Structure 1
Amino acid sequence: MATHAAHTRDAEERSRMRLDDHLPADHRLNKVYRIGAGLIGAFLLAFGILGLIDQIGYFNTGGDTVVGLNTNGSLSVLSICIGLLLLVGMVIGGNFASTLNMVLGVLFLLNGFLFLGLLDTDSNFLAFKIQNVFFSFIVGLLLMTFGMYGRVGSSLPHDNPYWRARHPDAVEHQQSEHEAGTPPADRALRGSRDAHRPDLE
């Protein structure tokens, strides 16, 4: 029993390590996460900079707009910060970008609901209007979609790195079955190739 538990823990630890390193720069999923973070981050950064250029008051709740969205100085600074964070996620890529997209997506949705309730009140310190609420919902859904793409779902293919990380026993079983049907010379050659793959180190 103890041996089985130790083996399970070792398998889980190895799977987590592989999950951290399984997305090289040219991986299809990595490109999705980076594109999503980069596009939305760039838009938010531009939106915030334009708001600051217009020198709108930090807590002005008037009708100052940038690209059709109501704004003030506080919202501009917040947009710049979030935009820069998403651009950092684009540069780093991998699991970081995926998780960042999902977390910020949830926050945008919650922010939309929050300010939907604060419209036309004195607590609306970010000067939200209904178009800002819709924008927050749209950005939140887009970020969540980009972040969850290929990572969340009940029908992920068995070669998906996230599926493999969640099912280490099944992966080892598949590898054992595959190696059982592979000639010894081919197994030795494949082992030599794997030893030189940087994404497995």
Structure 2
Amino acid sequence: MAHFPVNHPARPLYRVLSGLIGLYILVFGVYGVAETWGDGLFSREDTSALGLRTNLAFSLVSVIFGAFLIIGASRRGNLGHYMNLTAGAVFLVTGILMMSVLQTQVNILNFSMATVIVSLLFGLILLATGLYDKVGTEEHAEEERRRREHPIAEAHR
């Protein structure tokens, strides 16, 4: 069974970090939609927004994902925890898949290597924030602290 830290002291920092990533993705998406409006949905032209190549489809998906991440970062419960874990996995899988089709006609989102690197980086950061922003009861958090401070005594119980 996976172990996720509960009520981690750096939770606010992780929520801000995921919110900033969401804000960047939302701004990228809005700017990308403005830049690619009128082009084909899956255009492979050399259009970029905020330094990353994009097309209309990728820009629209970015607007949705950016809003998704901002909503997740603004929630106090475990919804943000699950949203960050999911988004991190999606970004990692998308980055790897798009890297494998980078120089082919299957590159429907118009990724470049820089876009792949940013996607993988955001995926790792979001996965890390998802691992450390779980919320639990105060009793559960206290048991977690006791286990962390006295691991040998807890192992013999």
Please give the range of the TM-score, normalised by the shorter of the 2 chains: 0.7 to 0.9
**Structure 1 residues 34 and 162: CA distance shift in structure 2, 3 A:** farther
The aligned residue for residue 42 of structure 2 is: 59
Deviations 1:107-141 (A, max 9, x none): 11111110111112111110011111111110001
What SS is found at the alignment partner of 1:94?
Answer: coil
**Structure 1 residues 150 and 44: CA distance shift in structure 2, 3 A:** closer
**Structure 1 residues 146 and 57: CA distance shift in structure 2, 3 A:** same
Q: Which amino acid aligns with 2:50?
A: V
**Structure 1 residues 163 and 132: CA distance shift in structure 2, 3 A:** farther
| Structure 2 alignment gaps of length 5 or more | 1-5, 148-153
Count of residue correspondences: 139
Identify which of 25, 35, 51 aligns with 2:16: 35
| Structure 1 alignment gaps of length 5 or more | 1-21, 152-158, 168-173, 175-201
The aligned residue for residue 44 of structure 1 is: 25
**1:98 and 2:78 correspond:** no
Q: Which amino acid aligns with 1:53?
A: A
CA RMSD in angstroms, aligned pairs only: 3.0
Which ranges of 4 or more aligned residues in structure 1 deviate by more than 4 Å? none
**1:115 and 2:98 correspond:** yes
Identify which of 74, 78, 83 aligns with 2:57: 74
Q: Which amino acid aligns with 1:49?
A: V
Q: Which has the higher helix share?
A: 1
Q: CA deviation at 1:91?
A: 1.8
Q: CA deviation at 1:95?
A: 1.5
Which stretch of structure 1 is more off in the superposition, 52-61 or 119-128?
Answer: 52-61
**Structure 1 residues 30 and 62: CA distance shift in structure 2, 3 A:** same
Q: Percent identity?
A: 31
Q: CA deviation at 1:41?
A: 0.7
